């Protein structure tokens, strides 16, 4: 390969934009492909369209190397699943795997080889718009969801034409941006990096994720795109990661803005030397690096290693043997939006809903609930329902909540949008909504943020409901009618004024193509809600970042205001809704706690189990959660960390025994020695229905300290369910 051909392989060009796929593929791009000047395109799609581009690469370029076609296929391709935070709320890795699998089947049928998902950034600040794209705040939980998604996208063999290369993103600590501002600096301790932000990436690498994307931001002044310690020493070195590392959009060029280089060529050199293999969109590697490569043996070595990793990714995908395997228009037509895919999307959407409160037992609704007023523009906002990374999702494919309820309730339904999600409220429209509410026996108020208030570059300084939505909600609540609130959102919100006495609130996130049926099935009790919060809901913006796994401090937060403690004086010490919270139409009793040993020795395991009984008359799901705490260690340990969860379906009146099996390494933390160690001594554990609804507690001992090669949060807890 010539230097230019090598650098071409490392060059990923935008073949279009997210909202205008393929729009930049013109004659000049075909010529670039013929000249071997590009290794990959993103924001392209279509089995037939991409077949021609691939044919040119394979038949008309000197080396005939196939191209990699990439896109952000994040929560569905054409059949849209809930946004990732909603998928996470299923609290079931099987749902995350299913969503990824269906997305892979559809995306690969449209000629795509590579998706920029899963996004596995820990998100602890609800102001951050991209909290919607991940699985929330908890390292163990996000690691489990990361593994599931990698499995779903990549299947067991990446060379199958319905599997897609996954990207664990955004490697580093993208979620730790200051103040929840997107792209902003992460200034975090080494411990926080290793224990909080990196475990999901360790898990994804362990699961075989074919690629990693680096984060835009810097950690303590070191931009991740040029972070040799993180990329070369840790990822390539200690973790022995052999996969492909891609920059983020223009992030190589942005090294100039970070202020660590002056020129494009210097930026390219830093990124290449940090083993960023493929450069997304700024084109520096291909346009500006030839001279530097010729002049520097060190850069040459880096380039060769990167080229090899790009070619290996193409090889893993089977592209050298069958470059057009992903380009079958008949398959594309057959799989898109198939009844099976819609059914899967509906199931995941139903399972993603979180019942925050149901104070008066208003839910589930009776089959004939009388006259119902459906209020809120979001009830009919198909674009919002398919969420921010919509890929090829089409609003016209969506069954909206309005459409479903019209069909279900006929003349007994009256609908008023009431107010928009932005700008000024229209008093007339609110008055119409109030009249509709007053004329009804029951109100379903659909409120929250529209899809464009969360996502990339969508951080908010205030996580309150948008002003017109607040105004509408106040007016509707003031009617005194029974109100069921359905909350559409991509982030935890300050729920003022919804969170009042006797409230009924169902969090629906942005549920996808099957929004209407999924929400209605939960409202009417065809299915009992079983979703849980993957991120705490702070009471107020000023309480953000709020997360469960904080340190205890020397003056732990105390409800008693006369004590000086780590809290705000103007709100309670707890969040509005805690990590893991979510109610059911059923009720469950926990009993029969058992632990297989009192001493967890190196090489051994402990199995902790409990009986969960559905004491109600309806079949429903419970999410059994296991939390641990190391009460005395060399450094302070978080007050609560998750180490197991299981969503289990329990028929009315029946009991299931849920057993979690753990290794001593799962208690390892980033010790002062710079290694992962679990200290000798006691470990406390708690089993419950939520992080703030603990039902059973116990403890065991580690008789001796244990050294591990991975963060405890990244390892897998085995779960067994007996009695099914
Ligand atoms: C920028 C985003 O940070 C990243 O997540 C995405 O994959 C790329 N743009 C490509 O769309």
Q: What is the pLDDT of residues 469-487, one digit of tens each?
A: 999 999 999 999 999 999 9
Report how far ligand 1's centroid is from the alpha carbon of 112 (Å).
Answer: 16
| Residue 712 pLDDT > 90 | yes
**Which residue in 646, 647, 627 sits closest to 637, CA to CA?**
627
Q: Which atom, in ligand 1's list, is nearest to the CA of 169?
A: 5
Rounded Cα distance, 531 and 348, in Å: 10
Among protein residues, the one whose CA lies closest to atom 8 of ligand 1: 249
Average pLDDT, the chain: 98
The torsion of the CA quartet 436, 437, 438, 443, rounded to 10 degrees, works out to 140
The interaxial angle of helices 339-352 and 93-109, nearest 10 deg, is 150
Rounded Cα distance, 217 and 109, in Å: 34
Across the beta sheet with 669-670, the strand order is 669-670, 676-678, 706-708
Among 14, 114, 116, 123, the mutation site with the greatest number of ligand 1 atoms within 8 A of its Cβ is 116
Residue 19 confidence class, pLDDT cut points 50, 70, 90: confident
Among protein residues, the one whose CA lies closest to atom 1 of ligand 1: 249
Q: 10 Å Cβ neighbour count for 165? A: 25
Among protein residues, the one whose CA lies closest to atom 7 of ligand 1: 116
* Residues in contact with ligand 1 (CB, 6 Å cut-off): 42, 72, 116, 169, 248-249, 456
- Which pLDDT value is given to residue 724? 83
| Residues 181-237: tens digit of each pLDDT | 999 999 999 999 999 999 999 999 999 999 999 999 999 999 999 999 999 999 999
| Residue 682 pLDDT > 90 | yes
- Which pLDDT value is given to residue 180? 98
Give percent of the chain with pLDDT exceeding 90.
99
Report how far ligand 1's centroid is from the alpha carbon of 456 (Å).
Answer: 8
The 8-class DSSP code of residue 278 comes to: B
Specify whether the backbone of 22 is left (phi greater than 0), alpha (psi in -120 to 50) or beta.
left
Give percent of the chain with pLDDT exceeding 70.
100
Report how far ligand 1's centroid is from the alpha carbon of 170 (Å).
Answer: 9
Report how far ligand 1's centroid is from the alpha carbon of 148 (Å).
Answer: 21
Mean pLDDT to the nearest integer, 418-446: 97
End-to-end CA gap in the chain? 59
| Residues 75-115: tens digit of each pLDDT | 999 999 999 999 999 999 999 999 999 999 999 999 999 99
Among 121, 211, 248, the mutation site with the greatest number of ligand 1 atoms within 8 A of its Cβ is 248
Q: From the candidates 95, 206, 218, 248, which is the catalytic residue?
A: 248
| Residues 575-609: tens digit of each pLDDT | 999 999 999 999 999 999 999 999 999 999 999 99
Report how far ligand 1's centroid is from the alpha carbon of 240 (Å).
Answer: 25
The interaxial angle of helices 139-154 and 199-206, nearest 10 deg, is 30
Report how far ligand 1's centroid is from the alpha carbon of 27 (Å).
Answer: 26
Q: Which atom, in ligand 1's list, is nearest to the CA of 18?
A: 11
Report how far ligand 1's centroid is from the alpha carbon of 41 (Å).
Answer: 13
Rounded Cα distance, 237 and 103, in Å: 32
Q: Which atom, in ligand 1's list, is nearest to the CA of 216?
A: 3
Residue 505 confidence class, pLDDT cut points 50, 70, 90: very high
- Which pLDDT value is given to residue 701? 98
Q: Is the dihedral of CA 336, 342, 344, 350 positive or negative?
A: positive
Q: Is 689 helix (H, G, I), strand (E, B) or coil?
A: strand
- Which pLDDT value is given to residue 198? 98
> Is the CB of residue 554 less than 8 Å from the CB of residue 563?
no
Is 709 designated active site? no
Rounded Cα distance, 630 and 13, in Å: 48
| Residue 323 pLDDT > 90 | yes
| Residue 18 pLDDT > 90 | no
Report how far ligand 1's centroid is from the alpha carbon of 145 (Å).
Answer: 20
């Amino acid at each position: 390969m010539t230097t230019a051909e090598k650098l071409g392989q490392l060059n990923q060009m935008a073949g279009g934009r997210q909202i205008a796929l393929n729009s930049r593929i013109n004659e000049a791009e075909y010529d670039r492909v013929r000249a071997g000047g590009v290794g990959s395109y993103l924001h392209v799609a279509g089995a037939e369209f991409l077949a021609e581009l691939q044919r040119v690469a394979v038949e008309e370029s000197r080396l005939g190397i196939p191209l990699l076609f990439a896109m952000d296929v994040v929560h569905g391709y054409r059949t849209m699943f809930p946004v990732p935070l909603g998928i996470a709320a299923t609290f079931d890795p099987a749902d995350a795997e299913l969503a990824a699998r269906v997305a892979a089947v559809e995306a690969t049928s449209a000629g795509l080889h590579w998706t920029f998902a899963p996004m596995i950034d820990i998100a602890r600040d609800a102001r951050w718009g991209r909290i919607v794209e991940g699985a929330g705040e908890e390292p163990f939980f996000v690691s489990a969801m990361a593994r599931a998604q990698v499995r779903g996208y990549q299947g067991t063999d990446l060379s199958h034409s319905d599997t897609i290369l996954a990207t664990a993103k955004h490697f580093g600590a993208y979620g730790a941006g200051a103040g929840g501002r997107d792209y902003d600096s992460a200034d975090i301790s080494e411990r926080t990096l290793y224990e909080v932000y990196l475990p999901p990436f360790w898990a994804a690498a362990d699961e075989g994720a074919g690629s990693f994307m680096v984060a835009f931001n810097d950690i303590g002044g070191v931009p991740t795109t040029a972070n040799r310690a993180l990329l070369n020493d840790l990822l390539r070195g200690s973790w022995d990661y052999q996969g492909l590392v891609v920059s983020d959009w223009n992030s190589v060029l942005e090294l100039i803005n970070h202020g660590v280089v002056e020129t494009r060529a210097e930026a390219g050199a830093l990124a290449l030397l940090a083993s960023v293999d493929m450069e997304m969109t700024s084109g520096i590697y291909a346009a500006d690096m030839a001279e530097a490569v010729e002049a520097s043996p060190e850069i040459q070595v880096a380039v060769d290693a990167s080229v090899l990793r790009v070619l290996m990714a193409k090889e893993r995908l089977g592209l050298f043997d069958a470059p057009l395997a992903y380009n079958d228009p008949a398959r594309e037509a057959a799989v898109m939006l198939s009844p099976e895919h819609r059914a899967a999307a509906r199931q995941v959407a139903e399972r993603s809903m979180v019942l925050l409160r149901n104070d008066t037992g208003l839910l589930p609704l009776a089959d004939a609930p009388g006259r119902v007023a459906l209020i809120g523009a979001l009830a009919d906002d198909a674009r919002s329902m398919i969420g921010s990374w919509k890929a090829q999702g089409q609003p016209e494919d969506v069954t909206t909540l309005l459409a479903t309820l019209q069909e279900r309730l006929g003349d007994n339904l009256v609908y008023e949008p009431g107010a928009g999600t932005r700008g000024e409220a229209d008093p007339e429209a609110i008055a119409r909504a109030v009249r509709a509410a007053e004329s009804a026996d029951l109100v379903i108020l659909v409120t929250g943020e529209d899809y464009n208030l969360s996502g990339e570059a969508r951080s908010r300084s205030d996580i309150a409901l948008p002003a017109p939505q607040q105004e509408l909600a106040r007016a509707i609540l003031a009617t005194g009618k029974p109100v069921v609130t359905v909350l559409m959102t991509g982030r935890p919100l300050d729920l003022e004024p919804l969170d009042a006495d006797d409230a009924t609130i169902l969090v629906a996130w942005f549920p996808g193509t099957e929004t209407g049926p999924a929400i209605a099935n939960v409202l009417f009790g065809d299915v009992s809600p079983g979703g849980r919060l993957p991120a705490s809901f702070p009471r107020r913006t000023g309480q953000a970042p709020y997360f469960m796994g904080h340190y205890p401090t020397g003056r732990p937060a105390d409800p008693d205001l006369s004590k000086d403690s780590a809290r705000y004086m103007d709100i309670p010490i707890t969040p509005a809704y805690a990590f893991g919270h979510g109610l059911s139409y059923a009720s469950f009793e926990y009993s029969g706690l058992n632990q297989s040993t009192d001493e967890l020795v190196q090489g051994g395991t402990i199995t902790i189990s409990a009986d969960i009984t559905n004491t109600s008359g309806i079949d429903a799901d419970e999410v059994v959660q296991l939390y641990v705490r190391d009460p005395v260690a060399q450094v302070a340990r978080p007050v609560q960390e998750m180490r197991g969860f299981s969503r289990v379906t329990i028929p009315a009146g029946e009991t299931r025994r849920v057993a979690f099996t753990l290794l001593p390494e799962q208690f390892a933390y980033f010790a002062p020695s710079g290694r992962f160690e679990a200290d000798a001594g006691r470990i406390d554990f708690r089993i419950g229905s939520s992080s703030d609804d603990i039902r059973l507690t116990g403890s065991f001992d580690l008789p001796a300290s244990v050294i591990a090669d991975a963060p405890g949060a990244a390892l897998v807890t085995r779960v067994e369910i007996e009695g099914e």
